[in-house]
A = this chain, B = another copy of it.
């Protein structure tokens, strides 16, 4: 509809990193039927793969969690920017999808998204006009974005929109990122928004994730204080009839401490409230940062780690050199895997010709990354040049953006499907 380039079933070929050298070009949807097996060396390394069963488990687990709280789910699409994964999230029951930019929204609309949050200020005339054009092209489409300053509202008004934009009032924290800092500032802005013909005030948004420390007491206190401020502002806006929609949206929720806000997204107001959680990283989870956070979530929920979110994203790399005792150089680096929160985590290996994965010893550590290399340190390792090592990740977002496509694999690393990304 709005795109000329097919983002749902594009043609892929060996100009795409990880695509088999000798394969003819294939449409994405044809890849699952090729019989490729990662552990047989059918795909060149490095290669990022998504594990089908963990992915399916996570989609169901998170939607079930949200359903159980009587709220809706608008997972953040910026994590994967994958139309195929957006479709799975919607099929699992998501109310809509969240984006960071209008360009990201466009990919979502092409994937079938009809309810979208842009969890960001939209400001520029071109971006505002693009939202209007997307809505004109798709009458069912609903788009809400964030408002946090009178300056922004003035710019929106200056763009002279033909129809008002739906906005959520963003509440921020002192020393935080965007968002109104005080009750008075927020209510004053809500009043201006209500009075403006350029926007409809549809609810309130906040993001608790930046305050997370992975300490139960501190995180609970932080989330409660933030949500208390949000409730106070929501109640006053409700009392003063500043909301412009019949249903008020209240949205929060990153991927780290979402359980500490999820129960606070349905305060009692005069109008009906729709709570919306926005977690994004749950979809593949990870072996590092979110593993630690979700372990605490599981503990708070009384859920065993084994039945909670599962790590679904791995990057496989070849051992290219064993130049010194205790050191293997792997042919994957900063161009292939996340490094913004911590180094990759070795989770397994497959010796050449074995066609099966073994668990990596716990003393294996990645000590450094170069652009195209990883330094694997160990006390002892039965590794040879040509063996394959599986690296777990910390922070899914910054691995997804290094790959234009990824295979989906079964428990034996046979390729059963594929996704593309649109960064």
Contact = CB atoms under 8 A, between A and B. Distances in A.
Copies of chain A in the complex:
2
A340 B329 contact: no
Given A4-B13, A15-B106, A15-B110, A130 B397 contact: no
Interface stretch (A118-126, A196-204, A226-234): A118-126
A148 interface: yes
A385 B323 contact: no
For A14, A44, A100, A321, the residue with the greatest tally of chain B CB atoms inside 10 Å of its CB is A321
Contact of A372 (B78, B110, B125): B78
A14 B11 CA distance: 18
The SS class assigned to the A binding surface is loop
A6 B138 CA distance: 31
A372 B120 contact: yes
Given A121-B320, A148-B321, A331-B121, A127 B17 contact: no
Nearest to A14: B106
Contacts of A322: 149, 151
A149 to B, nearest CB: 6
B126 A20 contact: yes
A402 B148 CA distance: 28
A167 B102 CA distance: 48
Interface string A1-31: 0111101000101110111111011000000
Contacts of A110: 15
A384 interface: yes
15 contacts: A3-B14, A5-B25, A21-B106, A44-B103, A44-B130, A78-B335, A149-B321, A152-B321, A177-B321, A178-B321, A180-B323, A334-B397, A334-B398, A335-B401, A371-B397
Interface of A: 2-5, 7, 11, 13-15, 17-22, 24-25, 41-42, 44-45, 78, 100-103, 106-107, 110, 120-121, 123-127, 129-130, 133, 148-149, 151-152, 155, 172, 174-181, 210, 318, 320-324, 329, 331, 334-335, 339-340, 370-373, 375, 384-386, 397-398, 401-402, 404, 422-423
